[in-house]
Amino acid sequence: MKFTALALPIFDQSINDYHKWNNVDTTIQNPYPVQSIEYYLYLKNWIDTVQWHLEDIIREPDINPVNALKIKRIIDKSNQDRTDLVELIDNYFLDRYKDIEILQDATINTESPAWAIDRLSILALKIYHMQQEVNRTNADRAHRDACEKKLQILLEQRKDLSIAIEQLIDDIEAGKKYMKVYKQMKMYNDPALNPVLYGKE
């Protein structure tokens, strides 16, 4: 099975599961075995889905500033969790292809497989929510038609991105591409690296 054929239904499942409650405080009920790649894909998209809705909430024009700051802190943690999970998924690929003989003329890609899959997860959310706009009964025809055009572009983008991910994975399997993963080293959450934080010591 192609990796994107595995990932996309899991992303859709996570999105649909979240929208049964449509509440950012909903407790995740991951249906896959712990530490399986399916488990991590579901968790990845769940984090993205919750953060999507937090980003909506924080843009409420009349939001209480105290609540906005609280949500901003949650989003910061979510971004860190998302990054950690992408790196974990990359470790899956590194381990899977650790014995591949890399060809002498092999090249490196601009992004790792997991960061491309991160984009695929976000794209699944864009498609879901654009479809909601297409189906809105309280929106006028012009809005729905404009959203339908955007939806078709997103669906084409998902197809193209899926092909590109599979080509990258195939090239890694064949030794034509090699993986070199750099940790993100986010500085703003690290009290030893953020001057606002270490300046208070």
Q: Which pLDDT tens digit goes with each residue over 132-178?
A: 999 999 999 999 999 999 999 999 999 999 999 999 999 999 999 99
Stretch 38-63: mean pLDDT, rounded? 97
- The total number of structural domains that make up the chain: 1
Residue 50 vs residues 87, 94, 147: alpha-carbon distances, Å? 19, 28, 23
Over the chain, what is the mean pLDDT? 94
- 81, 40, 35, 98: CA torsion to nearest 10: -100
142: tokens are 């012009």
- Which pLDDT band, with edges at 50, 70 and 90, does 200 fall under? low
Tell me the backbone φ, ψ of residue 153, rounded to 5 degrees: -65, -45
Q: What is the pLDDT of residue 77?
A: 93
As a whole number of angstroms, the distance between CA 61 and CA 64 comes to 9
Q: What angle do CA 195, 197, 201 make, to 5 degrees?
A: 100
Q: Which segment of 76-80, 107-111, 179-183 scores lowest on mean pLDDT? A: 179-183
Q: Which segments of the chain does DSSP mark as H helices, in order?
A: 3-18, 37-57, 65-96, 113-134, 141-173, 195-198
Q: Name the DSSP letter for residue 3.
A: H
Mean pLDDT of 103-119: 96
Which residue segment(s) compose the domain that 34 sits in? 3-198
